Amino acid sequence: MYKVFLVDDEELVIKSLIASVDWKGNGFEIAGYALSGVEAYEAIKRLRPEVVFTDIRMPGMSGLELIKELQKLPFQPMVSVISGYAEFALAQKAINYGAFGYCLKPFDETEIALFLKKACTVLDNRKSPDEGRILDYIEEADVEAVEYLNKYLKNAGIEAGSAAGMKVVVSVGKSRLSLLGRSGTITLRIGYGMYAYLIQVKDEEQLHFDLAASAGGIKGVGASRVIHRADEIKLALDEAKINAYRFFTSNHNDSIVERELDLTEKQYTMKLMEEAIAKNDTHALYSSLQVMEDLFTTGQLHIKHAIMVYNQVMMYVGRSESEVYEDYIFTFDQLGKMFKNAAEMLLFLKNMLIERMKMNEQTQRPYGHNRNFKVIYEYVNEHFREDISISFLSTQFNLNGNYISQLFKKENGVTLTQYLSNLRIEYACGLLINTDLSINEISEKTGYSDYFYFSRIFKRMKGQTPSGYRAGFS
């Protein structure tokens, strides 16, 4: 939600304005109010609201003077003037000074709602280009990117190089965290149902968020360790995402997780799994999975380990005639859509191993015939923007997943993942050139729920970022 600040020397007028408008329903929340221009100016600098409603006639600093001073700030709140009919000429003057609009007393809810709708459109359009650009710069972290990030952070009131430093927080879920009253923050949408928050840390501060005030729908929240440089944001973001997904591995979702991680850490049980795979010992592999559930619950293994376990076991299960099972998982979101938690994932994998052991005992090969390829191929071409995987197609067409993987590569010359990537990236190119959709929206419409994964695939295939590709046609 966007933040609104109210200014009027009569508190009764402010209370009337608060009560007469459905602020949340229009996408806004009241950040605070002030009874004088001077008090308002200091509060606005601290709270950084996107919209300000101010009276024109006030003792001390008038509304017109306040508008002039706000124009000097590094961020630009949108100002709507509160006026009576007798002050219409002043309201017009305020618009010349930079006010976005005005509302007349007594307040008309419909009129204010229309203003808020227009303000939302402008604010959304302001945010999208910067958001796409900053996400690319976080990913690249070269000299130019770091210089831009430092300016971006400073304009938002974040001094990464200060003694206290900054943290990256990630929330998973449809709603954003409520940051009401907190200055020095940047909110970025990094995927469908995933937000990142760059937050200035105050001395010895423990981060706390009111999840109830965030309108529900938040599954998990994770924070990084303190960082002091812009080029550390990407690593901190990865760390915060892992912590946010503790709800998947350990069902921990009642508070923010700030556990520090060694992202290169390899656990003993993971080594046992890898040794079992190397020896082609299905029974030993099954035993290693049985031990893992407690390690996930206690936090010794996290979501990255879960993806590694899933991919390695699925590759192992798919070994047949030197072919590799192709149903790989690349993002946390993909795994979260397939399974409710790590325990459910492990149960699925153990059942796969049981089936393999049975097949080995019976020496069966559950393969079909090539006539199946046409219907699968047509389905993929029609539904490539959806969440398609080998396991999904296996269920959809009641065919063995390993058979589908081998058949697709044999008949089409590339794996299903490669074919899907080609379709999706070409579709994304068309959207980038022919629409004004944000990069995040294009990522989602193309079938990628994680912005950074989409950006990496796009850059690998096209040699440049999505925003860079779009800029070449503008």
Percent of the chain with pLDDT over 70: 82
Domains of the chain: 2-126 (3.40.50.2300), 141-250 (no CATH), 265-364 (no CATH), 419-471 (1.10.10.60)
pLDDT at residue 63, rounded to an integer:
84
pLDDT at residue 214, rounded to an integer:
54
Strand-pair category, 28-34 with 2-7:
parallel
Distance CA 268, CA 250 (A): 19
Average pLDDT over residues 133-152: 86
What backbone phi and psi angles, to 5 degrees, belong to 45?
A: -60, -35
At 231, the pLDDT band (50, 70, 90 cuts) reads very high
- Among the listed ranges 118-132, 181-195, 227-241, 251-265, which one has the minimum average pLDDT value? 251-265
| pLDDT (tens digit per residue) in 296-342 | 887 788 999 999 999 888 888 865 433 444 567 888 988 988 888 99
Distance CA 399, CA 112 (A): 58
User: What is the per-residue DSSP string for 209-270?
Assistant: --GGGGTS-EEEEEE---B-SGGGHHHHHHHHHHHHTHHHHH---SS-B-----TT---HHH
Cβ–Cβ under 8 Å, residues 146 and 231:
yes
At 405, the pLDDT band (50, 70, 90 cuts) reads confident
pLDDT at residue 209, rounded to an integer:
66
User: pTM here?
Assistant: 0.61
The two structure tokens encoding residue 157: 């009131």
- Among the listed ranges 145-154, 211-220, 375-384, which one has the minimum average pLDDT value? 211-220
Tell me the one-letter amino acid at 104: L
At 267, the pLDDT band (50, 70, 90 cuts) reads low
At 198, the pLDDT band (50, 70, 90 cuts) reads very high
At 91, the pLDDT band (50, 70, 90 cuts) reads low
pLDDT: is 319 or 152 the higher one?
A: 152
Cβ–Cβ under 8 Å, residues 105 and 13:
yes
